[in-house]
Structure 1
Amino acid sequence: MLIRDAEDRDWPLIYPFFAQIVAEGRTYAYPDGLTLEQARGWWMETPPGRTVVAVDGPHILGSAKMGPNRPGRGSHVATASFMVNPEHRRHGIGRALGLHVIDSCRSAGYRAIQFNAVVETNTTAVTLWHSLGFRTIGTVPAAFDHPDHGHVGLHVMWLDLSDSSD
């Protein structure tokens, strides 16, 4: 598996699993029914953000996007989002993408990474992020309308990237 910057030609290969994950309604609050072109802006970042893909030959196994969480005086904190193609789950792709994003954000000089909306019932993601050092620093109650569980919380998760000697 190789993780590299996403290119325009990758989007039509990302979109099918993006659309499937969004339609499942369990992890992202993106609008339903986005077309290929409408969805592009929700996932394919422009600088200073970036989108990456995990590939095995011609197959895109997953993707992540990252960039500043807020502009201006908040731009020293990054944020990121991740999607693993459902056909390739449970093979360490999410972990590899997570480690790549952490390393990339650290190298880019970010002092922390903040996830703004991790669905609390997405225990696979919550467990992964905790194992990579993220802390759940708060939960917004009933902020996500889950198709199976109704209104559930969204975790705000945070990872310190700063040098402790600062």
Structure 2
Amino acid sequence: MLIRTVTDDDWPAIWPILRQITAAGETFTYPREMDEGLARGIWLPAAPGRAVVAVDERGTVLGTAKMNPNQMGPGAHVSSASFMVAPEHQGRGVGRALCTEALEWARAEGYRAMQFNAVVETNTNAVALYRSLGFEVVGTVPEAFHHPTKGFVGLHVMHIRL
């Protein structure tokens, strides 16, 4: 697997992943009916942000990540990131590789920490992955996410010092 910076040619492979995952409404606070223009604007951040794809030996996009400062101004020393793996490629280490890439990027860019603002507590695979990489849950906002089948569930704020 290769992780590289997104090019314009990658968007046609990224968009179906984003569309499917956001439409499911189980793991992201993005609108379930998010259109392509909004998705592209959110997922491809301007500098100092970065977007990447994980591809296999044939160039198939397996997943994608975006990395950016978590806040502006006096909070810009903390980074954030988001990850989406194509459902048919989940459970094969793509998410771990993307998260590791994001952590390496943040360290190289001089960030002091990485913070995830809204990790759905029922997304147990993601929570376990982030914990295995050293993230801690520093708080949970109760009932902050309306899951399509589990009702109102909490959103974790997760953090790691770099």
**Aligned ranges for residues 102-113 of structure 1 at < 5 Å?**
102-113=103-114
Deviation at 1:44, TM superposition (A): 1.1
Deviation at 1:35, TM superposition (A): 2.6
Q: Give deviations 1:94-144, integer Å, cap 9, x for gaps.
A: 001111111110011000000000000000000000000000000000000
Distance 2:48 2:35 in 1: 25
Is the 2:49–2:67 Cα contact (8 Å) retained in structure 1? yes
- The one-letter code sitting in structure 2 at the alignment partner of 1:48 is P
Deviation at 1:7, TM superposition (A): 1.0
Is the 1:140–1:154 Cα contact (8 Å) retained in structure 2? yes
Distance 1:112 1:68 in 2: 10
- The one-letter code sitting in structure 2 at the alignment partner of 1:117 is A
Q: What's the secondary structure of 2:11's corresponding residue? A: helix
Q: TM-score, normalised on structure 1?
A: 0.95
Match of 1:37 in 2: 37
Aligned-residue identity in percent: 57
**Aligned ranges for residues 97-136 of structure 1 at < 5 Å?**
97-136=98-137
Is the 1:64–1:81 Cα contact (8 Å) retained in structure 2? yes
Is the 2:50–2:68 Cα contact (8 Å) retained in structure 1? yes
Q: TM-score, normalised on structure 2?
A: 0.97
Deviation at 1:87, TM superposition (A): 1.1
RMSD: 0.8
Aligned residues: 161
Structure 2 stretches lacking a partner, 5+ long:
none
Distance 2:152 2:123 in 1: 13
Distance 1:37 1:10 in 2: 15
Deviation at 1:8, TM superposition (A): 1.4
Is the 1:12–1:36 Cα contact (8 Å) retained in structure 2? no
Q: What's the secondary structure of 1:80's corresponding residue? A: strand
Larger deviation, residues 49-58 vs 152-161: 49-58
Distance 1:9 1:85 in 2: 17
